[in-house]
Amino acid sequence: MALSAVYRSWLRGRLLQLLATASSLAALAAMLDPDRIAGAMGIFLVGVNGYSQFYAVYVGMRLATAMLALLAARSGDQPLLVDLTALFLLAQPAGRLVAAFAIGLPKGVLLAVCAVELLAGLSLLALRPRGKFLSL
């Protein structure tokens, strides 16, 4: 059974808002307690460069994802913004898949995070307006 265009748009908007909130909260948690978050992800922060790289990925990229999701949610039916948000999300499990061939799948919390990223990204693509992928 196909969903109506209006309902798909509404679902897509709510998912984008949820992603913006979750990404913002993840960035905030990383800023407030980088050592705990890094430890949960299996990362050991060493020196200025280690912290700088952690903040770049877990704060900067999460905030960029949040802003992109919020922009996509507020801009109505602009498939390109939704597609870019989905690609930001799907790039992370894609990178973990590459790592899985070399060292194995992530474990624990990181495996759950990977599953959520994959589900959210694929859901955004499934709910996109009808048309070509990465279309304007």
- The torsion of the CA quartet 7, 20, 125, 99, rounded to 10 degrees, works out to -150
Q: List, for residues 58-75, the tens digit of each pLDDT value.
A: 999 999 999 999 999 987
Assess contact for 83 and 134: CB atoms under 8 A: yes
- How confident is the model at residue 34, as a pLDDT? 96
* Alpha helix positions (H), the chain: 5-32, 34-40, 47-54, 62-74, 79-103, 109-126
Instruction: Say if 117 falls within a structural domain.
Output: yes
Angle at 17 between CA 12 and CA 22, to 5 degrees: 125
Is pLDDT larger for residue 104 or for residue 136?
Answer: 104
CA distance 102 to 80: 33
For residue 102, is it within any domain?
yes
Task: Give the three-state DSSP class for 59.
Answer: helix
Would 111 be classed as within a structural domain?
A: yes
Q: Which structural domain, as residue segments, surrounds residue 60? A: 5-126
Residue 131 belongs to a domain: no
Residue reference for tokens 């050592």: 35
- pTM given for the model: 0.85
| Domain assignment present for 21 | yes
Q: State how far the Cα of 112 lies from the Cα of 27, in Å rounded to an integer.
A: 17
Contact 28, 129 (CB under 8 A): no
Number of domains in the chain: 1
pLDDT at 108 (0 to 100): 87
List, for residues 76-135, the tens digit of each pLDDT value.
677 889 999 999 999 999 999 999 999 998 888 889 999 999 999 999 999 887 655 555
> Which residues have a Cβ under 8 Å from the Cβ of 127 and sit 6 or more positions away?
3, 8, 11, 12, 15, 82
